[in-house]
Amino acid sequence: MADRLRLSSDSVALLLQGSGRGGAPGNARPGPRGPDPRGAYTQRELAQRLLSSEAVLEREFLVAAACNPSRAAQLLEALSPEHFADPSNREVFAGLRDALAPAENADDGHTAVSRLKAKAHGDSEAGRFFVRLVMEADQGRYAPPVLEELHLRLQEQYLKREIRGLREGLEQGGDTEGKQRRLFRLEQLLQAVRANLTNLDPEEGQI
């Protein structure tokens, strides 16, 4: 497969080993000094765990987008970097949106993959993820219904994050009226997204 995609052996090795943050014993971070006596996570730990789960969903959406360039081009144009909590995922989103922008037919799809190959390298976390995108797109890992579901879940995740921030802002005062109007609008959007998720065909696009 690496030959067919014209990826270097170094790029494939980087993909297989992941981002390289853990893995080798010499690079392992020391474990926690001890469990919380109350058996509860601190606020910072909860935030880190939430960010990690959000980043995973963001990456799966980007993979599904690379697998379905024609449909993804439309979806990506309606998104913004703020939909992605992870900085590396934001960078990949921007590059993927640029690469897929003209993907309106099969030929453009091939052009999009070529553009993704140009971004696939081992110099950064985003570059390594582009390697994965190229390989996953070649295998067609995710079908269009999965892309649609992941797109809705990405929106749900983003709206929940924005709503949480607005509620915290309301507790601190300030432009209360403006925040309340935005909060009401976002909560309506969240309800619509959840309704669309509920109406998904259970026979299609299981993640």
Mean pLDDT, to the nearest integer, of 44-52? 62
Indicate whether 138 belongs to any domain.
Answer: yes
Domain count along the chain: 1
Q: What is the pLDDT of residue 94?
A: 95
Residue 27 reports pLDDT greater than 50: no
Does residue 58 form part of some domain? yes
| CA–CA dist 132, 45 (Å, integer) | 29
| 36, part of any domain | no
Residue 124 in domain: yes
Read off the pTM.
Answer: 0.71
Calpha distance 88→173 (Å, rounded): 33
**pLDDT range class, residue 56, cuts 50, 70, 90:** very high
Structural domain span for residue 178 = 2-15+53-198
Residue 160 inside a domain? The answer is yes
- Would residue 87 count as lying in a domain? yes
